[in-house]
Structure 1
């Protein structure tokens, strides 16, 4: 391991000044360092459940580093979580990585899982409007927007939340008025794609057996992102036919769809058979998505 001795000499535990940590110095001083900034889901904190194992999986190379944060109101972070607040926290993390750690955006992958995908798209949109482009954007078990998700969401896969009243549209619209945080990731992704000036690697990954957020939510994200490359939105039937021509399917029901466009845009959707809502973070598809983001020559857009 490239920096094994330096990392072994680092004292374990909390650092009031993270810049004094050996791991930070390695990140800052190594011109070949790559950084994954990870935004977790709505449950728990940065060290919850499978997250630490996922961190180890993603950094199983001496050149890859990972930064994970707890949003306001999560873990030991103070404050109250709101949509704007969480996106602001994500922006602050990325700004710190670029300004303090000195990592240029083309050596950064921003990644989110579940709620973290909505944070990621908000962060990506903010920086896209400033002309900042990342090595990759990876959304795992994402959702289109909060109102759509709640309309069909079932807790633990079988306890309906609002789906019983979908047959009463006026009542559903009335209840939607009380959803304060909209999390319109579809619109944000479309903005990211349409404002890309040089290069974009966008990957959507979802498990077919996800009982928390149905995989059709990633279909919606893919449709909006892909439509932004065409300058028009096709109806569901026409888009389905168009997408099928860009899709490779397997016998187990999984598939990979890839859309390429100018100037250098690659949008990739992967549906995997197993992994559920959280275990998918440990899948090889996630690790490979990171590798593809940092290796621009793997898929070429049309001339």
Structure 2
């Protein structure tokens, strides 16, 4: 009997844009008879009508999961939620929503994510070349003023902490490329720290977190590394920073399909390289 597994892909842009279609082929790594991919254009993107808002995009992601579970009849335990770029923020909102309802997934994969909008705007560069608010770094008050006019905050770190804290089982994979010039890779450091913080009842000191993380980090060369955070409970957080892949091409690389396989438990439960 073939076990049907479902991968919900939530990415920035349209479902057929750029490397998207190539990534859909790469994600299952040839195991197309077992893994099915559900990719969505949320409101305001592709052929979807409406205007994108934080609340609306998260609702679209929730609706996609509801469809997979209730119409396609895929149990949540056989669903992996994957988000890239803005899609990571949508994914964080989606998984927190379901965790609060005691619904857990096989795994969550976040690729090229960001911590929140305020940090994103001060570091983001359009196409890797045109900075948004980073030129205003010498003027923090002015930066703060501009950010205050942004309605959607996308607090991924707090959502991720809450998701990990209230979930009984977590398989979280965070992937980012060092040469991502649109969203710098250090945003994934913040996401990892937020997730790790959620494994501790009263939080964890950042200095202690860094020491504990260093003991479970493998140097992959050229600045790349893999870090594992595993608590006594059934919660595993895996961060992989790769040397190359830019902002979107990383979707087609092996670490992504490996994360999907690990999330589904198709690697016999291994978490280290």
If the length of structure 1 is used for normalisation, what is the TM-score?
0.85
Asked if structure 1 preserves the Cα contact closer than 8 Å seen for 2:83 and 2:90, the reply is yes
2:258 maps to 1:267: no
Contact 2:164 2:170 in 1 (8 A): yes
Q: In the alignment, what sits opposite 2:226?
A: 256
Following the alignment from structure 1 to structure 2, what is the Cα–Cα distance between the partners of residues 39 and 145? 17
CA distance in 2, matches of 1:282, 1:298: 23
Alpha-carbon distance between aligned partners in 1 of 2:204 and 2:165, rounded to the nearest angstrom: 16
Contact 1:258–1:266 (CA under 8 A) maintained in structure 2: yes
CA contact (8 A) 2:2 2:34 kept: no
Asked if 1:115 corresponds to 2:86, the answer is yes
1:219 aligns with 2:159: no
Tell me how many residue pairs correspond in the alignment. 268
Partners of 1:266 and 1:299 within 8 A in 2:
no
Give the secondary-structure state (helix, strand or coil) at the position aligned to 2:192.
helix
Instruction: Specify which of 33, 36, 50 is matched with residue 65 of structure 1.
Output: 36
Question: How far apart, in 1, do the equivalents of 2:166 and 2:174 lie?
Answer: 19
Q: Highest Rg: 1 or 2?
A: 1
Q: In structure 1, what is the Cα distance between the partners aligned to 2:201 and 2:185?
A: 25
Match of 2:254 among 280, 284, 290: 284
1:15 match: none
Q: Which residue of 1 aligns with 2:23?
A: 54
Greater relative contact order (Cα 8 A, min sep 6): structure 1 or 2?
2
Q: Which residue of structure 1 lines up, in the alignment, with residue 123 of structure 2?
A: 152
Query: Is 1:194 the counterpart of 2:194 in the alignment?
Result: no
Shift of 1:172: 1.8
Within 1, Cα distance between the matches of 2:258 and 2:270? 13
Bigger shift: residues 147-156 or 157-166: 157-166
Aligned equivalent of 2:68: 97
Name the SS of the counterpart of 1:205 in structure 2.
strand
Gaps of 5+ in 1: 1-29
Structure 1 residue 299: deviation in Å? 4.1
Q: Which has a greater percent of helix?
A: 1
Runs of 4+ residues deviating >6 angstroms: none
What is the Cα deviation at residue 31 of structure 1?
A: 6.0
Q: Tell me the SS of whatever aligns to 1:289.
A: helix
What's the counterpart of residue 180 of structure 1?
151
For 1:233 and 1:132, the matched residues in 2 are separated by 23
Residue 107 (structure 2) pairs with residue 136 (structure 1) = yes
Secondary structure of 1:230 counterpart: coil
Counterpart Cα distance in 2 of 1:76 and 1:155: 23
